[in-house]
Structures are given as C-alpha cells and as structure tokens.
Amino acid sequence: MNAKHTFVNLFLKRSSKQECHIVLSRWNTYYEALSEKHKKTFVVRTLLFLNTTDFDSKEGFELTLEMKLVISSAFVQITFGLKQDVLRIFNTIFVTPTSYKYASRDVFFNGDVNTVTKRVNLSWPAVEKGFIITNDGLNIAIHEFAHCLIIENTKRSRLSKNINQNDLNQWKDIATKKLPLIREGKYKIFRNYGGTNLMELFATTLETFFEQPHEFYSYAPTFYRTTAKVLKQDPRNGKNPK
C-alpha cells in the first residue's frame, strides 16, 4: 500500500472494509484471485473511489451499496497498477434500471460517458451481466471507465499525466494498424465495434485484457504486452498482477 492509501486506510471503518470485501469476493473475479496483500489495497481503493464519487439514480430505483461497490471495483481494477485512484472530472455516476436513450437519437445505450454533463451513465442490468459472465470480453463498467481514463489523461498537463505518454503512443501505433482489420471482423479477439475508432478500441481492448487475458496474449502477444505496459499490470498473474 502506498503512503496515501495507508493514510486513507486509517479513516476507514473495519466494518466497511469487511462489507466491501464480502461484496467484492462475491462479484469480482479479479479481486477474488488477488493475494491477501493486494486485496487490502483493492478494498481501500474501492472505498476511496466510492467516497469521492457521487452516485445517483432515477427516482424509484434503489441504488444499493452493493451495486455502488461493484461499479467502483471496475474502476479500481483498470487503475490498479496506476497512481490515479479516483476520477476528477467524471465523478458523477448515474445508474439506470434499464437501457436508456437520448431524446435526440433513436438508439438504446447500456452506458456512456457524457462529456457535456460530465457524467458516466450506466444501466445496472448491463453492469450486472458484465460481472456475472466473466470471460466473454464484455464488461460495460470497464468499458466506460476506460473512456474516462483516456479523456481525463488528455485534459491533464504533460507533467501530471496518469498514463505514461510513450507507452500510450506505442499502444496507439499498434492500435492504428489493427483498426481496419478489427472493423472488418478479421481480428477475431476483438469484436468489430472496437474498430470504430481508437477511443472505442481502447475501451474494447481493456474489456478483453481483463476478461480474456490468456487468449488475448496468445492471439497478439505484442499488443497484449503494450496494453499491460500502459496499465502497469498483467492480469494473467492473478495473484500479483502488478
């Protein structure tokens, strides 16, 4: 645990940590695989994220602590190797009881990052499915938080980047070459949607990276290793990913 998390840990109630541990053990297979030492850090980071984020939901839909912890865990998972442990811009998460649509478009969403309202929207049934089916490369919470990570990184000054710029540039170089193949469905490890643009490919890559790390590595070792470098972790080492 770094100095900041050791300090945060002092202010967390034992009962909150225990409750968080129970929820994470039940829902998050990445957490479940971690060593005891990493589990402690993961719990602290989850509660820190929970306490610094505004969770909101539609009237009449009860957003439980369990749901909030599950959603928070997706962010902690993707940033577990990084210094960044909270969201600075997109720290409002709006959870809906079903998929939803915007008045201007006739498309249903399971999640999106709204850069105008600075809000992350997530449909709970989609989040739930993402965690229940752990190995299909689909996890909407990981997907949307991946977008947040990149957008927040872009808005930071050169010296306070949360992601190493050289690593990210290396990732972009590889990703740019793969983009047309993915779009045409010729790069089977990713779904075609990932080929939409680099932003969508990054989010899709993270879903695959965490849900199918061994398959991803076998299929594209260099791309996998570059992704691991960006996130400073390797989920193939379940106990000690970083």
**Nearest distance, CB of residue 200 and Zn ion, angstroms:** 5
Write down the least CB distance from residue 147 to Zn ion, Å.
6
Counting contacts by CB under 5 A, is residue 148 touching Zn ion? no
Indicate the helix (H) or strand (E) that contains 14. helix 14-27
Nearer to Zn ion, 85 or 144 (CB): 144
78 part of the interface to Zn ion, by CB under 5 A: no
Over the window 6 to 45, marking each residue x when it contacts Zn ion by CB under 5 A and - when it does not, the resulting string is ----------------------------------------
* Residue 199 Cβ vs Zn ion, minimum distance, rounded to whole Å: 7
Per rule CB under 5 A, is residue 141 in the interface with Zn ion?
A: no
Closest separation in Å from C-beta 79 to Zn ion: 17
Work out whether 231 is an interface residue with Zn ion (CB under 5 A): no
Host H or E run for residue 160: none
- Strands 111-114 and 92-96 turn out to be unpaired
Question: CB of residue 160 vs Zn ion: minimum separation in angstroms?
Answer: 25
**Would you list the DSSP string of 80-145?**
TTSS--S-SS--EEEEESS-B--TT----BSEEEETTTTEEEEEHHHHHHHHHS-SSS--HHHHHH
Q: Does 122 bind Zn ion (CB under 5 A)?
A: no
Sheet holding 119-123, edge to edge: 54-57, 92-96, 119-123, 111-114
Number of residues that bind Zn ion (CB under 5 A): 2
Residue closer to Zn ion, measured from CB, 25 or 154 = 154
Q: Nearest approach, Cβ of 138 to Zn ion (angstroms)?
A: 12
User: Is residue 215 packed enough to be buried (19+ CB in 10 Å), middle (13-18) or exposed (0-12)?
Assistant: middle
Beta-ladder partners of 93: 55, 120
Q: What's the rounded Cα separation, in Å, for the pair 172 and 202?
A: 9
Residues 187-216 that bind Zn ion (CB under 5 A): 200, 203
Give the CB-nearest residue to Zn ion: 203
Backbone angles phi, psi at 204, to 5 degrees: -65, -40
- Residues making contact with Zn ion (CB under 5 A): 200, 203
